[in-house]
Amino acid sequence: MSEDALVWLSILAMAVATWVTRISGFWLMGLVPEGGFVRRALNHLPGALVVSILAPIVIDGGWAAAVAIAVAVAILRAGITAIFALFGALAAVALIRLVV
Amino acid sequence: MKSDTPSVIFTWDGVRRGARMCMPLAFASFFGGLGFGILAGDTGLSLAQAMGMSALVFAGASQMVAMDVWTFPPAVLGLAIAAFAINIRHVVMGAALRPWLRGLPLLRSHAALLMMTDANWAQAMAVRRKGELDAAILVGSGLVMWLGWVSGTGVGQAAGNLIADPKTFGVDMIVPAFFALTLPSLWPGVRHLHPWVVAAAVAVVVHALLPHGTWHVVAGGLVGAAVGGLSRE
């Protein structure tokens, strides 16, 4: 096989592997009987996942990640829409990077 | 509202609202794609190959890692396994979507699943908590992010190093900041915070032990959810 064809084959293999991850959770969940435990666990799953994504980012990313997260949540809690919260967080990080 | 409410709808209005909701993410996605495109060009991928990978794989972290380990000729199986390991978090995210998507015809539920990325999934779960029924918001939000990602890749591959480091503008922090924005609506209350604490602790430990892939997200998410499942409401 030519090198070019192998590149495309690799891209396709990565795509199929990723499609499998996107679809399989939905199906695996169908095999689990939905009792009280599963229902309560599913209720807590989104929050637990987001926290699991953020925790190592904050620890590895240092102050920039912590500032971005704190500013974003603070602006949102002040009742201002999410878009401004997001850009406010980026502006805070950019500003500190400019100064430091 | 409980997340096991069976009712679900899937409309064009949902696609539109999802797209509007995630406009700032499309912007972030464009800059992320720009970064990937530059990297792909440096690695030796053609414009078509770089954009093709972004269009088909549509998962940033796994594409960046692929560029890191890329060889000519490429190791097909190894790249597929690496992509699977990094995107394994999607499995748990998809599981969380089942109570919502279950009632839809397969074509629609799978359209939503295939457009699922970290950020629009988190957004969808957050609005779902507030009573959103329309699962098509995942398709709309995924679509604008996909457009940003693929076009950014193209510009990055073509323009290469002419572009200034997007980090100067804090663009690398857009995803953590966005995730943080979903926290208030997912907040379980101080008395029910233990699943979050356990999830964070497990994620940090697993991330230290297995820095490659996203096993820490799977482990933290599942253990945190299990702790939540075991506790009384």
Q: Which residues pair with B176 in a beta bridge?
A: none
ipTM of the complex: 0.82
pLDDT at B167: 66
pLDDT at B2: 47
User: Helix, strand or coil for residue B134?
Assistant: strand
User: B102 and B170: one domain?
Assistant: yes
Q: Which residues of B touch A12 (CB under 8 A)?
A: 56
Distance to chain A for B154, nearest Cα, Å: 16
User: B146 and B181: one domain?
Assistant: yes
Distance to chain B for A10, nearest Cα, Å: 5
Q: What span, in angstroms and rounded, lies between the C-alpha atoms of B34 and B156?
A: 4
Chain B residue nearest residue A11, CA to CA: B53
User: B179 and B156: one domain?
Assistant: yes
Task: Please tell me which of the candidates A9, A16, A49 has its beta carbon nearest to residue B217.
Answer: A49
Whole-number mean pLDDT of chain A?
A: 87
Q: Give me the residue label for tokens 């075991």.
A: B230
User: B169 and B61: one domain?
Assistant: yes
> Treating both helix axes as pointing N-terminal to C-terminal, what angle do B174-186 and A36-77 enclose, rounded to 10 degrees?
120
Is residue B7 in a domain? no
Task: Please tell me which of the candidates B74, B83, B220 has its beta carbon nearest to residue A17.
Answer: B83
Q: Which of B187, B206, B224 is the last residue of a domain?
A: B187
User: B230 and B209: one domain?
Assistant: yes
User: B130 and B192: one domain?
Assistant: no
User: Helix, strand or coil for residue B177?
Assistant: helix
User: B126 and B140: one domain?
Assistant: yes
Chain B residue nearest residue A99, CA to CA: B168
User: B203 and B124: one domain?
Assistant: no
pLDDT at B139: 97
Tokens of A85: 């919260």
The more confidently predicted of residues B100 and A62 is: B100
CB B141, CB B46: distance < 8 Å:
no
Q: What span, in angstroms and rounded, lies between the C-alpha atoms of B7 and B134?
A: 9
Is residue B2 in a domain? no
Is residue B158 in a domain? yes
User: B157 and B228: one domain?
Assistant: no
pLDDT at B95: 93
Distance to chain B for A52, nearest Cα, Å: 5
Answer whether A50 sits within 8 Å of B171, measured CB to CB: no
Answer whether B228 sits within 8 Å of A41, measured CB to CB: yes
Answer whether B98 sits within 8 Å of A29, measured CB to CB: yes
Is residue B131 in a domain? yes
Tokens of B33: 């794609």
Is residue B1 in a domain? no
The structural domain count of chain B equals 2
Task: Please tell me which of the candidates B2, B173, B201 has its beta carbon nearest to residue A43.
Answer: B2
Q: What is the mean pLDDT of each run of 10 residues along chain B (233 residues)?
A: 64 95 86 86 94 96 86 91 87 93 95 93 91 95 96 92 65 73 81 92 94 83 92 73
pTM reported for the whole predicted model: 0.79
Is residue B6 in a domain? no
Answer whether A45 sits within 8 Å of B58, measured CB to CB: no
Q: Which residues of A touch B32 (CB under 8 A)?
A: none
User: B123 and B174: one domain?
Assistant: yes
Answer whether A40 sits within 8 Å of B233, measured CB to CB: yes
Answer whether B179 sits within 8 Å of A76, measured CB to CB: no
Note down the domain range covering B125.
12-187
Distance to chain A for B181, nearest Cα, Å: 6
Answer whether B179 sits within 8 Å of A53, measured CB to CB: yes
Residue length of chain B: 233
User: B137 and B218: one domain?
Assistant: no
Q: What span, in angstroms and rounded, lies between the C-alpha atoms of B171 and B218?
A: 26
Mean pLDDT of A60-70: 83
Is residue B205 in a domain? yes
User: B172 and B200: one domain?
Assistant: no
Task: Please tell me which of the candidates B23, B199, B229 has its beta carbon nearest to residue A38.
Answer: B229
